[in-house]
Amino acid sequence: MLPRPAPAHRYTTTTLVLGLLATLASGAWAGERRPAVPHGRAETTRVSGAAGASTPLAGFAVQSTAKVSDSAAAVSSPGYPATGWHPAGPRSTVLAALLADGVYADPFHSTNLKKIARADFEVPWWYRSDFTVEDTARRTFLDFSGVVSAADVYVNGRQAGSATDVRGAYTRHELDITSLVRSGTNTVAFRVRPNDPNKDLTMGWLDWLQPPPDRNMGIVRDVVVRRSGPVALRDVHVTTELAVPSLATADLTVKARARNDTGAPVTADIGGSIGGTEFRTTVSLAAHETRTVTFSPAGTPGLHLTEPRVWWPAGMGGQPLYDLDLTATVAGQTSDTAHETFGIRDVRAPLNSDGARQYRINGRALLVKGGGWSPDEFLRWDRAYAEDRLKYAVDLGLNTIRLEGHLEPDEFFDLADRHGVLTLPGWECCDKWEGEVNPSGSGEKWNDADHAVAKASMAAEAARLRDHPSVLSFLIGSDSAPDAAIEKGYLDALRAADWPVPVVPAASDASSPQLGASGMKMTGPYDWVPPGYWYAKREGGATGFNSETSAGPSIPTLDTLRRMMTPAELDTLWRNPDAKQYHRSPSSTFGTLRIYGKALTGRYGAPTGLTDYVRKAQLAQYENVRAQFEAYGRNATDAKQPATGMIHWMFNSGWTSLHWQLTDRYLDQNGAYFGAKKANEPLHVQYSYDNRSVVVVNNRPEGAQGLSARATLFDPDGTRKYDKTVTGMTVAGNGAHASALTLPSSVSGLSRTYLLRLVLTDADGKEVSRNVYWLSTEPDTLNWDGTTWYYTPTTRYADLGGLASMAQTPVSATATTRSSDGTSTTTVTLRHAGSGTTPALLTDAHLVDAGGKPVLPVRWSDNEVSLWPGESVTLTATYRTADLHGSAPGVRVSGWNTPERTVPAA
């Protein structure tokens, strides 16, 4: 190693804390994954010489320091052979690179992940990349974050940064490497240190999944080479002030830091535009001076907008975005440029009279209906995969995604902006992030350096996220709130960044010295409870804001199960609920399916095989997830203890999992998915487990009039026992509800297991909502006194065993497909084809290819529907034509009491 002093002007963690937030313009991290290149070389990146250019490195070659004896100077010099190294993408953990290189078997299958030795990742690893520069007259900077957990940085054989400063997954670093680069090929190398979430302010996996053996060590965001002239533009952003509730006007303020990177005074012209409004000023800067430049409506009347285009979450309005372009010019030559995309919206989150956090967006109350987001376990970024999941969230009627740590790259928030999905980012629980304040966690206590890293992390993330209209809040604590010192660091950084939306001290019922009470609760459950649980206004029931909650296990479809487990493991799955399940959780609390399995048998009867187990699981998950969302939806407008928000724990899993997911790793959709989709439909009729009321919830902005609600009770064989219709109903919009009727407490002759069919029709007699329940005259009984942090025991199960007596009922299907512009739509008509009275319960349509493999992702208009004799329903499935891989589509139809069959859909 050939050490040398750092360049005179380096912008790292320390300067971030001081307020020189080195924010990249939106899109500066937009490098997509590129194909791997041969062993020993990473693709050489050609760096643009244009002022304001930001060029992400195309990829790296990686190798363990245990296998490299050469000096850092040699490794980081152009021409170093890197023989036997592994190719890696521009954002890659060590293990992600090795998986892509075929070193290990599929870690999502069986226990393959367990076979990867952790010892291989307990030493630093080298990341090496070449880039070319033709013009060295401009200044050159290396700009990056996403180092897990710390790194020494070298350029062309010289050290440019130390792991003492370059540490923490979220801190941003800008290294001035002007004096180190040369015309032609240049090399940058990172010696990345191992990660330990209990010791480092990075990221871990808690009880979500089996942790990766490398603990995500690597570089998981783009490393960008930036070029500029004598004056650089940094910290560019727009603050917006929307008139609420009129939404008639909005004031925009543009801010930027103009930085003189030379040793002499300089005068710069700073000019920009938003839409048709242009603005300009001149700023004089002393040597190495940085000055904030501000454009406001007072000096630029065009920044006072009338009739602004207001951004709304999906389902509440549109998602218009604005563009800011800014240029610094010195002596007539462009010195630097910046671009930001932003939206105009107003977010408030006061505490209501019950002390619960009540969000309001653009003056309208918002019931947060969300899910907990997980990235890929190995932090592999795939834009299309992320967008598919966000489209699923919209399809489910969700409006929010919570990111507990694992804060995704810029493109994720760009996608959330464009699809209207609100985000709740925040720090994670229980490891180093809460080591100072969470006595039940595993994180180590903080030292002074940790406080600096935490503050720099907050500064960097605030600068990165503040212009995204999809960002609803930032949670600076999860299970625990920060203490006074930590909170002050966070809040100082947020204020310096002009943070525009509410800051919440914790996701749990906790308080911090400055912010006060969180207004949230984290009362579970996390394991199985019956559907009626959600209606109780206590613990995790539908009152206040529950930041993470669900009934735990979510058994995937049979297709997914066969992809992720061996036949022997599948046999154990249905036979032995007490067995440890590797694909559930590393936690001893959630290591088995004991509670879930006992409830499944107690309510539906013991499974007779894998297929029977899976079909019972889908009924159980449908009814439970539906009840969870329905209860929160019904109680949102209550006068006392209203429900204000709920995050289903979780939306997805980062690997092949048996719990906490509405959609699985492969984007297949099970009962949990369609239960949520049913509950969150725009205009919805539902049953209340607590008081037997039939309620209509209107999630549309506008009210609805002239509605008719019909409730019919049936024995499992289809014998009608009760029927009542209420007409002339009116329901206001924005989440309001109206009660149609209350079912009688007893009905003569009704079987112990029975069916409830609800049908809602509009003023023209068109069916707008249908909802079918399977219920029991012997309801589930909860032992509230036995409640733990993760569930409430059930002392008696509802008797749903009568469903087993339902006669097999055929359902006919016809399907056709039309394709245009890369998108296919398959239209399926399902018809009850039986001659008896028994309905076809929870009939599922699965789009498959010619080999019977599911075509995913797919968005259905509706699914898992129940049909009575003579009834039919037409469904549509929309998907990418390319996902057929040249095959003809088919539709596989099955159901609780419907034999499986597949029909062509070409």
Q: Which amino acid is at 424?
A: L
Report the candidate in 869, 889, 767, 766 with the shortest Cα–Cα distance to residue 827: 889
Tokens 């008639």 map to which residue?
248
| Token pair 């850092």: residue | 72
Cβ(167)–Cβ(453) under 8 Å? yes
599 — alpha (psi -120 to 50), left (phi > 0) or beta?
alpha
Least Cα distance to 473 among 396, 547, 573 occurs for 547
Q: Annotate 430-486 with DSSP letters as a single string.
A: SSGGGTTT-TTS-PPPP-HHHHHHHHHHHHHHHHHHTT-TTB--EES-SSS---HHH
Cα dist. 272→279, 283, 295 in Å?
5, 14, 9
Catalytic residue chosen out of the listed positions 207, 408, 548, 844 = 548
Q: How far apart are CA 32 and CA 640, in angstroms?
A: 49
**Burial letters 422-442, b for 16+ CB under 10 A, else e:** bbbbbbbbbbbbbbbbbeebe
| Residue 610, burial from CB neighbour count under 10 angstroms (0-12, 13-18, 19+) | middle
Separation CA 902–CA 813 (nearest Å): 9
Regarding beta strands 223-228 and 139-144, do their DSSP bridges make them parallel or antiparallel, or are they unpaired? antiparallel
Q: Could you report how far apart the first and last alpha carbons of the chain are, in Å?
A: 64
Rg (CA), the chain: 29
What is the distance between the alpha carbons of residues 865 and 848, in angstroms, rounded to a whole number? 18
DSSP symbols for 233-253: EEEEEEEEEE-TTT--EEEEE
Residue type, 207: D
Q: Active-site residue 548, yes or no?
A: yes
Question: Which residues touch 301 (CB under 8 Å, ≥6 apart)?
Answer: none
Question: Is 251 noted as a catalytic residue in this protein?
Answer: no
* CB within 8 Å of 102: residues ≥ 6 apart: none
Q: Which of 152, 404, 479, 509 is catalytic?
A: 479
Give the three-class secondary structure for 18.
coil
Which of 497, 378, 474, 486 is closest to 432 using CA atoms?
A: 486
Q: How long is the chain? A: 906
Residues with a catalytic annotation lie at: 479, 548
